[in-house]
Structure 1
Amino acid sequence: MTDEVNIGVLLFVAYRAMENRAFAAVAAAGYEDITPAQGKLLQRVDEDGSRLSELAESAQVTKQTAGYLVDQLERGGYVERCPDPGDARARLVRLTGKARDLLPIGAAAVSEVEAEWTSYLGKRRMEQLRDTLTRLREITDPYIDR
């Protein structure tokens, strides 16, 4: 058995640290009712709205779980369900103004973490890390436009 931590754990630990900082900033700004699961879904709502099935797939949760999370977000005033102009039978999930106000707070916290990591690692290493992860995304992200 080796003492070396596998790369998946290392990536997860770094991601979780960034996620925790973003959620702490959001909560400090008064949005204390957003859970990480809700946030994961909220981030994936397209500018023009998204179908529930698309949200479920991109968040890698079941359609039932996505529906439950959207219900919670709707009750909190973060999303609304609207008719899909392209399909009268379908509905879109759209961000409300409240959600649009919230998203930049999380994004600012992420930028702050990236700046701290750059300060710690140095600009060159941070650029290499970003380049490496961007390249890995090409073969690991099923939702990337290829």
Structure 2
Amino acid sequence: MNIGLLLYIPYRDLENRIMAAVTGAGFDVTLAQARVLQRIGPDGTRLTELAEAAQVTKQTAGFLVDQLEKLGYVERVPDPTDGRARLVRVTEKAKGATPVAEAEIARIEAEWEQHIGKRRMAQLREALEKLGEITDPYR
């Protein structure tokens, strides 16, 4: 099995479990919406930047943001650096999902550490952080 697939399988499981926890807590979002939502910066993000970060077209990102706005998870506000542009910002409602997601991530990481051991988990984290230095365009 190639390394990409070996990385993807646990990520997919983590993502599915986080989504189950978030939707189980009453946050009505789809996976596609969540992928856009999690890429919004603390001060807001322009739609074009969201599309690029989520690796979707600007039209798809716009559609997902429209849905999230109707659900009350995001708002569009003027960009203070450019009067013609708008930023997408998360609302307090969306921020309420963060502790749910973080708690699930902590449970998953504890489970993985239990399975592979503390030393290997630390090595895995260190190796992935090192790889992030050359693979993460948003670093």
Q: Normalised by the size of structure 1, how large is the TM-score?
A: 0.92
Partner of 1:83: 78
C-alpha displacement at 1:53, in angstroms?
Answer: 0.8
C-alpha displacement at 1:15, in angstroms?
Answer: 0.2
Equivalent of 2:128, from 110, 133, 143? 133
Does residue 23 in structure 1 map to residue 19 in structure 2? yes
Equivalent of 1:59, from 44, 47, 54? 54
| Structure 2 SS opposite 1:8 | helix
Equivalent of 1:115, from 94, 106, 110? 110
- 5+ unaligned residues in a row in structure 1: which ranges? none
Partner of 2:87: 92
Question: Could you list the per-position Cα deviations for residues 68-97 of structure 1 after superposition, in whole angstroms to 9, with x for gaps in the alignment?
Answer: 110010011100001111111000101111
Partner of 2:69: 74
Amino acid at match of 1:142: P
| Structure 1 SS opposite 2:96 | helix
Matches within 5 A, 1:13-52: 13-31=9-27, 33-52=28-47
Paired positions, count: 139
C-alpha displacement at 1:36, in angstroms?
Answer: 1.0
- 5+ unaligned residues in a row in structure 2: which ranges? none
Aligned mates of 2:42, 2:131 — CA distance in 1: 26
Percent identity of paired positions between Structure 1 and Structure 2: 61
The runs of 4+ residues in structure 1 deviating greater than 3 Å are none
